[in-house]
Amino acid sequence: MHTIILDTDIGSDVDDALALATLLGSDSVNLLGITTVYGDTQLRARIAHHLCHTANKSIPVFAGVEIPLSSCEVWSTGSEGNSFSNLNQYALVDKSAVEFLIEAVNQNPGEIEVIAIGPLSNIASAIMQAPKFAKNVKHLWIMGGDFTKEKIEHNFKCDVTAAKIVLESDISITILDLPSSQKTIIKKDEIEQIKSSGKLGSILHTEILNWIQPRNQDWTTPHDPIAVLAMLLPELFSFSEKGSVQISEDGKSDWRLNQEGNVKRITPSKPLEAVSAMISLIAKVN
């Protein structure tokens, strides 16, 4: 059983919602809480609440850091939450995401895995505010970076300072970078399969269309749920030896083999099976 905290910028790219649904469908996950990060984190928290409520799951949600530690301008699609009505019905707790992360991890040392699928502002803040946090996290799973160094990946770009703090910490980390996640695609027929997966599947289908149609696509890349699946179904992935990651001032990421490092890379070795597993787990929610 994996005891998990999901740290997410849910509400923009649909892959965060797919990652949450994948976790909700797994019998091997104890989802302790959800923390939201980047921009309007209260809106993101209410979106997460709504998805959990639709799935008949009672999961505490905590709004987190809104402004990147690097103080860069916050990006948004401008349509976050637009397809949902009455999100204000979901009351938010007073405790912040960073407070929850620190409290949960330090009270349960070596027991909690964190899955970070957005900018790393919450995780970096917890590291800075609580010296024992990094040591007490069992494992940190990250979707972020581009180790080809050809692009500056979105999550790292949105808070370069936070990415540097987290990747230079001594937390045990496994990371799925952008080129590796792009080996997986949810095709048109698979999008329709998700639609048939009950109430939550119907919502996810709408969110997928809202994401892909403005981009003139009939497919999407499930970056974030693939990071979740690496934890749940490691047999579908290739794991590197240990290495270290350096983050440049503009957010480019460089992974290098280092037996004294703390970061492993992953890539889907069975991408078709990974997408099928995601769809199957989502179908189990309702």
For 230-243, how does the pLDDT look when each residue is reduced to its tens digit (9 = 90+)?
999 999 999 999 99
Listed residue (32, 42, 31, 33) closest to 9, CA to CA = 42
Crossing angle (nearest 10°) for helices 97-107 and 121-129:
60
* Averaged confidence pLDDT in the chain: 94
Cβ count within 10 A of residue 143: 28
- What gap in Å lies between CA 41 and CA 263, rounded to an integer? 28
- What gap in Å lies between CA 216 and CA 224, rounded to an integer? 21
Q: Which domain holds residue 168?
A: 2-283
Count of domains for the chain:
1
Listed residue (122, 108, 131, 98) closest to 4, CA to CA = 108
Q: In this predicted structure, what is the pLDDT of residue 258?
A: 95
Across 53-75, average pLDDT = 94
Q: Residue 111: which residues within 8 A CB-CB, separation 6 or more?
A: 3, 138
Lowest-confidence range among 16-25, 138-147, 188-197?
A: 188-197
Place of tokens 């890379």: 265
Cβ count within 10 A of residue 98: 24
For 235-274, how does the pLDDT look when each residue is reduced to its tens digit (9 = 90+)?
999 999 999 999 999 999 999 999 999 999 999 999 999 9
- What gap in Å lies between CA 203 and CA 129, rounded to an integer? 37
Q: What is the pTM of this model?
A: 0.96
What CATH number is associated with residue 161? 3.90.245.10
| Whether the predicted pLDDT of 111 surpasses 80 | yes
Percent of the chain residues past pLDDT 90, beyond the cut: 83
Rg (CA), the chain: 17
| Whether the predicted pLDDT of 286 surpasses 90 | no
- What gap in Å lies between CA 79 and CA 234, rounded to an integer? 34
Q: Which band of pLDDT confidence, cut at 50, 70 and 90, is reported for residue 81?
A: low
